[in-house]
Chains A and B, each alone.
Chain A
Amino acid sequence: MDYATSFYFTATEIGLSLCGLALLLVAGWQGNKSARMVTIISVAALFGAAIFSIGLFDRATGEVAGRAFGDLYRADAFGSFAKVLIYVAAAAVLIVTPRFFERIDAYRAEYPVLMLFNAVGMGMMVSATDLMTLYIGLEMSSLSSYVLASFLRNDERSSEAGLKYFVLGALASGIILYGVSLVYGFTGSTNYAGIRAAFEASFSTGALFGVVFVLAGLAFKISAVPFHMWTPDVYEGAPTPVTAFFASAPKVAAMGMLLRMAMDPFGGEADAWRQIVIFAALASIVVGALGAIGQQNLKRLLAYSSINNVGFIMIGLAAATPGGVAGALTYLAIYVAMTIGSFTALLMLRAPDGTNLETFADISGLSTKRPALAWSLLALMFSLAGIPPLFGFWGKFVVFQAAVQADLVALAAIGIAASVIGAFYYLKFIKVMFFDEPTREVEATSPVSHWVVLGICVAIMSPLGYLLTVPLGEWTAQAAASFVAAM
């Protein structure tokens, strides 16, 4: 094993960890005075890691194929693509975070540090080519997520969200571990290549149980139905910037991990898990669409929306083809931009006294008071619904195309039908914002940083986003091809 190569391929993880350790010392000595500075440095580090990942995008497909530490970890095009999404999403969330906490004097320098360690864990998740790396990355990310969820420790809802997330997340980890132990028992290897080889030799019922348990645990992490129960509660209770984070970066990481697991070690047994994925995808789409209808709280609504979107992403996985993976990755990229935009807009909705507004009643008649914000929200909501001129449509189009090409026409048809139901609650936004009478005072200005993040997200969602289709198509195709190369 060549340490220099290994360090090079894992440089983002190592760099972010070292940065996190150094900033933790700063946070320890300087206390909360340094919170702003720590946040800025963390954002810079995350962007640096993202740029480094872009650099690895092509490099890692050479003769060593990005293998680090004896194939515990692989830095390939897929990993790089997912990592760029993760790091940029985490950085964007960090940019809009401080204002939210500072208003109630609850911001602490440990927050960005936990984010950095979370990003390290997520990077390990998407690059893991060994069950042990996967588990360690997953735990690192989950553990810091639990803390972030209950970061407003004096707020009952936040503590409740943290506790719920912790208990159910620990259960999911247990399920994954149980599945992992079965897979290891039946294949004699924790390495993806080894598992794949062993499965090709023989695939017993016991091993199938292992695969199912692992997939069930991962479904929990991406909040796919039937393991979605925690999502609305946690999303509602957690502080809004943390919810924005949960809905974006960890989703990419868990989804990336799931894609790699399904395509690489379990790739030869696609028939064994396809039905499960199809069921979870359809159930997520339907439950997400129906569950959202009655919601009054916008964060809860966005939670159901994220369940719904996960269902669409899983349609790409159900195809189990490189085209499907590319479609899922495209959808993920668009989804991240939409989610971060929506939550940033939510963060900008404040009463004049600084309290956050997060129900439908609060945004009625928003178009008269904050027209720019209302139009941005409109664009994002239409995009989430997949209404054509907006870029959100492209994501749905790509996954449905992949499903049809893989002869899953029925699946695609049901998905399209369900997305029509889903459009209902996005339309409710328009009714409330543009046609209802204003009932509440809304703060007139928002910080520039929020406008920048929102502006970028809205620009991507606008029809301008279609300029991205060609490069996005190339990148995702190359990322999906890294599984073929690994096979």
Chain B
Amino acid sequence: MIQTLAFYLFAALVIASAVMVIMARNPVHSVLWLILAFFNAAGLMVLVGAEFIAALLLIVYVGAVAVLFLFVVMMLDIDFAELRAGFVKNFPLGIAIALVLAAELIFGIGAYQAGQLELGVASGVAAPALDASNTASIGAVLYRDYVFLFEAAGIILLVAMVGAIVLTHRRTENARGQQDISRQVRRNPDEATVMKQPEVGRGVDL
């Protein structure tokens, strides 16, 4: 009972906030709605017993990706009139794509109703639940069965990093605010200060 209620609550909120992401005029509002959508998606994950995925969804998407999104969007100066003009121009195309996707969804639901949508293995028999916690089972699958793909995904991230650095990093000589910590620490009063006893009425020569 409470699960059903929670499911419909989370699902309705995901959809509503997803709609608001595109409906909101202000891009910052869009991002905030997106965060709400992530949140409710995490709620759905908890409901199906995938609490590890739910936590990761929050940590990665809400905690890092969306913050950076917000970071960029906040600094944008967007011309809304122009944005809406583009919207009108592309409206028919958007509608067409939306119709196709809607048809897809209906097919999906239809198949689900017919009882064909059984996830897991090819024969349609769902994968047996492992006798271990969520985290442990994901770890086992990730590092045993899919270790090849896991490592390859790591290389993809490396490529992304190398790419970002190659395209944006410019080596500047003598950058402002450069600081050599060890030199700073090595300095002692003897080499940094001088004691002078100036005579009255005369300045100090350094």
Contact = CB atoms under 8 A, between A and B. Distances in A.
A144 interface: yes
Contacts of B151: 17
Interface of A: 1, 6, 10, 13, 17, 20-21, 24, 68-70, 72-73, 108, 110, 113-114, 117, 120-121, 124, 132-133, 136-137, 139-140, 143-144, 146-147, 150-151, 153, 162, 178, 182, 184-189, 191, 193-195, 197-198, 202, 204-206, 209
Interface stretch (B16-24, B60-68, B69-77, B159-167): B159-167
Interface in B159-189: 159-160, 162-163, 165-168
A189 B122 contact: yes
Interface size class of B (residues with CB under 8 A): 20 to 34
A189 B121 contact: yes
Contacts of B1: none
29 contacts: A1-B145, A13-B152, A69-B145, A69-B146, A70-B145, A110-B166, A117-B155, A117-B158, A120-B155, A132-B146, A136-B153, A140-B155, A140-B159, A143-B159, A147-B163, A147-B167, A187-B122, A188-B121, A188-B124, A189-B121, A189-B122, A191-B122, A194-B122, A195-B122, A202-B116, A206-B110, A209-B103, A209-B104, A209-B107
- Identify the 5 closest CB pairs spanning chains A and B, nearest first: A194-B122, A147-B163, A206-B107, A189-B122, A69-B148
A411 to B, nearest CB: 27
B149 A132 contact: yes
Contacts of B153: 136
Interface in B139-156: 145-149, 151-153, 155-156
Given A139-B156, A188-B124, A206-B104, A24 B162 contact: yes
Q: Interface majority SS on B: helix, strand, loop or mixed?
A: helix
Contacts of B149: 72, 132-133, 136
Contacts of B110: 206
Given A185-B117, A194-B121, A17 B162 contact: no
Given A24-B162, A191-B122, A202-B116, 6 more contacts: A72-B148, A114-B162, A124-B152, A143-B163, A147-B162, A195-B122
Nearest to A162: B167
A186 B155 contact: no
B1 to A, nearest CB: 28
- Which of B116, B118, B145, B147 gathers most chain A CB within 10 Å? B116
Contacts of A137: 152
Contacts of A204: 107, 111, 116
